[in-house]
Structures are given as C-alpha cells and as structure tokens.
Chains A and B, each alone.
Chain A
C-alpha cells in the first residue's frame, strides 16, 4: 500500500518520537481513487447502509420490503458489473485505486456470480425469515456486506485487499451462521465457525506478512515482477508464506484437512445461510486462491502443484466417502460441497488456461445447483428448520412431485449426469487435468464422482420409493407449502442447470473470456 497518502510523511520520525518538524516533509501526492472501478462493491455496501438507516428511522415497513430492496440492490450490482464487462471488453483490463483493485474479466466474472447469488439468496431468505419469524433486516444487511467482501476478494490486486475481503466476508458470515438463536445448533455453528475462522485468518495473515517480507511488497503485480526478476526467487520465507496463504484459502474453500468445520457449520447454520455460504463463500475463497496461485505464483508452479495435488486428492476422496455414511441431508450436501471443492482444485492443479476456465465454469454452475438444493432443504425442513433427516424425503415425489423433480435434477447435475451443466463442469475440469498431464488426479476425480453418484441417487431413490405409512404421517404434519419466492429460486436454478446443460456455449465462453490480468 505504498500508494497511501502518508507516503511522504517521515513515519520513522514518529517512531523515534522527536518533536514534530513538519517543514522537511516531502510533498504528498494523492492517489486518484476511481470509484467506478469498485461500482458493484459500493452498491452492495451502500445498500446495506441504507437498509440499516431505513430500519433505524422508519417504524412500519411492509414484510417483503427488505427482500425486495435487497433484490433490487443485487440486480443493480449485476447491471453495474455487466457494464464493466462491456467496458473491459472494449478497452481491456486495468488496475485502479493505486493498483490495489484490478478490473479484469476474472474479477467481473465473480462480481456477476456474487450479484446473482445475492439476488437468489435474498429470495430464498425472505420466506424462511417469515416462517421462522426472525424480525429485522440483519439477514439482508449481513448478506450484502459479506457479498461485498466476496467481491473485494475477487478483484483484489493486493494481498491486503484480499485479506480485508476475506475478513469482511467471514465476520458477516459468523453472525449470519448464528442468526437463528432459538436453535442451539445455530449458535454452536457460529462459535465454531468464528474460532476456526479467526484462527485460519491469523494464519493467512502471517502468510501475507512472510510473502511481504520475502518479496518486498504485498501488491500482486510487484510480487510477480520480483519473482520474474530475481534469479533464485524460491527462498524459505517466501515458500513458507505461500504455504500459509494456501492454509488460509484452504480453510475458506473447505479443502481437506481444513474442512472439519464445514459439516458442523453447514448443519448448524440456518438453511438459506448455508446455501449462501456454500455458493458465495466458496466462490470467493476460490476467487482469491485462483488469482493468487494461478496468476501471481505462476513461476513457483513446480513448488505448489504437488501440494495442491495432495489437497485435491484428499478433498475428493474424503468428501465423497464421508458423504455416504451421513444421515442428515445438510451434512450430505456439506460433504458433497467438499468433494466439489476437490474438483475445482483439480482445475487449479492443472495450472493451465483450460484449468482456470474449467474451475470458473464449475463455480458458476455449482452456485446455482447448491442454491437450488438448499432451497429444497429449507422447504422440507419445515417450521423450526429441523426436519433434515433423510426420512423426511421419503415419498416426497408422492406429495410434491414438482419439488421432488427439481431436487432430482439438481442432485443428478451435482452427480455429473450428462445434459446438465454439472456434467460439463466435471468434464471441463477433468479434461484440463488430462491436458496438464496429471492423469492420476483425473482418474481419482472420476472415481470419487462414481462414489458420489451413490449418495445423490440414494436421496433420489428415497424420494421416489414412497411407503404407505409415510402418507399418513404427512397428513398429520402441516402441509408443505411452496412460497412464491422459493419457487422462483428453484425455477431459476433448475432452468440454468438444464438449459445451459443442453446448449452450453454462452456460459463456457463467459468462463473462457474471464481472463486474468497478470
């Protein structure tokens, strides 16, 4: 951040605590901060602040107002990022705000993704909050703030900004996880997520410090310059720094052995929050990870590729093997999200252009699939958000055929069945791995998707193999109404998964054009 205003100030003078002598100060040149480069981020933060003020000042408010407002803010940021996409398309990527923030295809890809997630998350949350009657716009405010954090992580061209984005995202999520304070699991999830999150961000920060020490700057551009210029870049401190960065990102992305928090937090947190977390937080984690490792530490490729290989293999296997023995739907989806992270790691490990595009495509399609799935989980969870055991899904097709069908499509997509985006995503990533000649990883990827197919199908079978006494039991419990907003989310996610499964061209081009400004 040497572009900061205090540049000219004799900082070390302060340390020595002599009396101030302002005359000898060098003139101060101010960085021109173009706010247009961070339009979507500011829109989100502005929205959050407006919500805060709104609730503070205005007493009465119609129930759906907050959700509508959040959706509007989401759409606004989507529009803004689309404009930036066109702008970048025209006159190329650029860095802004004294090289701290970068505006390139890659960052705008994530801005679009996060905006969409905000919109869908708000829709998903609205009826959930009404059902659980959790008053107050906190859900929306925190979601907007964490999304802005996610966007910062994606468009950071400086490790400091990445760290700040990570923190904004995580702290908002800690509170979101603990939102439903009636359920003890929710609070427990919040505590666990908080302690481990703090711990891993401290480790991440230490990594940043070491990288700073080794390369002399935290700006990704300058780090790349340093790595290319110096003759023996890979010294101990730098490698240790890279390793600790990987720990921080690994935690956020839930790669094994840092994944232990994921099942508990996903099960404990309220379902819409889990959905948002699985889509938004994971995407942001990968945004930072891919940019830092793929673009910046490209010259150190030979160093970090083996360790990423180990992480990917562990993640793939543990994710799918553990998911089989789970009894709770949210834990199943948690472990499946871990195995999906494994697949994206395959893309990273391939460390080639196709791998990056494959990973981006995977994150985009996975976001839709997981949001749709958690909408269904929220619905089936009914009041009190507790009915998540697999038996709750027995015979669902008899009672709610549309819901069951939607859930089946989403599950099959996650299993990678052809004619869905899930299949293309896995195919894209694995072909990148084969191109990058890491055949063993591709093989393990396919093996784990075979194992994964089992527990996806297990749920599908449960839904369609209804037993008689289930009918009677269902009659007693309150009917499973599908509110409009949830229906919209389901429709959008299923439509996206199947439509772009059949004619994938537009989305694949979108992922491919999201190039990185090294």
Chain B
C-alpha cells in the first residue's frame, strides 16, 4: 500500500513518465505471453538444420566472419569527425548576429583547420573508393 500512496503523491512531472511506463509494460507483456505460450506448448525435437543462421532462405556459406572492407570504416571515422564539427557550428549559428565579425572569422578558421585535415586525408587517398 505504501508504494501506491507514494505513486499518487508523485508530482505531475513524473506522472507523464508513468503513462509511458505503463504503456510500454503492457506491450511487452502481450508479446511475451504469446511467445512464451508457443515455446511451452510446441514439442522440442532439436535438429541441426533448425539452428542454421537464417540468411533470408539462402544457405550461409563460409564462417561468420569475413574480411570487412576497410573503406567502410574509414568513411565511418570521417563521418564522426565532421559530425562533431557540426556540433560546434550549431550554437555558433544560433547567435550569429550577436557574434558579429569576430565570431565569423573564428568559425572560418575553425572550419579551415578541419578542411586542412580533410585535404590531407584526401591526398593520402582515403577517399578513393576502390
């Protein structure tokens, strides 16, 4: 009972979260019940074929591990770098007018340095997609 009373006394702020909580719990309960009942009721005859990883019907070939192309990584890394750059540009953009010329020059320098990095990476052949 004590849990209930604290529940009511909670502030409005929490009540909104409460509804989200209840809604999520209901969904989980429903799906769980269905799958649970299924696994309980069906007979269990384990065969090897049943445990092959399902690759949309195609029989899997080779081991689970494969030589991943490095270039995917490189692009990922570059993306992270420039995405963080934008993190800094956002607050700058919000107060553009107040920052005036000083702000502009500083941001240009900021972007230029990062562009230099990109130029170096480009000359090093990182961007060549082969």
Contact with A along B74-88 (1 / 0, CB 8 A): 000000000000000
User: With a CB–CB cut-off of 8 A, which chain A residues contact B123?
Assistant: 55-57
- Within B87-113, which residues are at the interface with A (CB < 8 Å)? 91, 94-95, 98-99, 102-103, 113
- Rounded to whole Å, the gap between the CB of B18 and the closest CB of chain A is 21
* Cross-chain contact A49 with B99 (CB below 8 angstroms): no
Residues from chain B with a CB closer than 8 A to the CB of A25 are 95, 98
Contacts of B7 in A (CB 8 A): none
| Cross-chain contact B95 with A9 (CB below 8 angstroms) | yes
Partner of B116 from the list A20, A28, A30, A53 (CB cut-off 8 Å) is: A53
Interface: A5 (CB within 8 A): yes
Does B119 interact with chain A (Cβ within 8 Å)?
yes
**Nearest Cβ on chain A to B37's Cβ, whole angstroms:** 43
Residue numbers in A under 8 Å from B116 (CB-CB) = 49, 52-53
Given A6-B91, A9-B94; A53-B119 close (CB under 8 Å): yes
State the majority secondary structure of interface residues on A: helix
Counting chain B residues whose Cβ lies within 8 A of the other chain, the interface size class is 10 to 19
What is the number of residues of chain A that contact chain B, defined by CB distance less than 8 Å?
16
Contact across chains for B119 and A56 when beta carbons are under 8 A apart: yes
Contact B120 A28 (CB under 8 A): no
Beyond A53-B119, A56-B120, whether A6 also contacts B95 by CB under 8 A is yes
Is there contact, CB below 8 Å, between B120 and A30? no
Chain B, residues 107-130, CB within 8 Å of chain A (1/0): the string is 000000100110110111000000
Q: Which residues of A contact B117 (CB under 8 A)?
A: 52
- When each residue 20-49 of chain A gets 1 if its CB lies under 8 Å from chain B and 0 otherwise, what string results? 100001011010000000000000000001
Please, how many angstroms separate the alpha-carbon atoms of A55 and B125 in the complex? 13
In the bound complex, residues from chain B placing their C-beta under 8 Å from that of A52 are 116-117, 119-120
* B102 close to A28 (CB less than 8 A): no
> Within the complex, which residue of A28, A49, A53, A55 is in contact with B95, where a contact is CB–CB below 8 Å?
A28
Complex: A170 Cα to B36 Cα, angstroms = 51
Within 8 A of B (CB), among A49-69: 49, 52-53, 55-57
Chain B residues numbered 43-71 whose CB sits less than 8 Å from any CB in chain A: none
How far apart sit A75 and B124, CA to CA, in the bound complex (Å)?
A: 29
9 new A-B contacts at CB < 8 Å, known A5-B99, A5-B103, A9-B95: A25-B98, A28-B95, A28-B99, A49-B116, A52-B117, A52-B119, A53-B119, A55-B120, A57-B123
Residues of A participating in the B interface, judged by any CB pair closer than 8 Å: 5-6, 8-9, 14, 20, 25, 27-28, 30, 49, 52-53, 55-57
| 8 sample A-B contacts, Cβ–Cβ < 8 Å, listed by A number | A5-B95, A27-B98, A28-B95, A28-B99, A30-B99, A30-B102, A52-B119, A52-B120
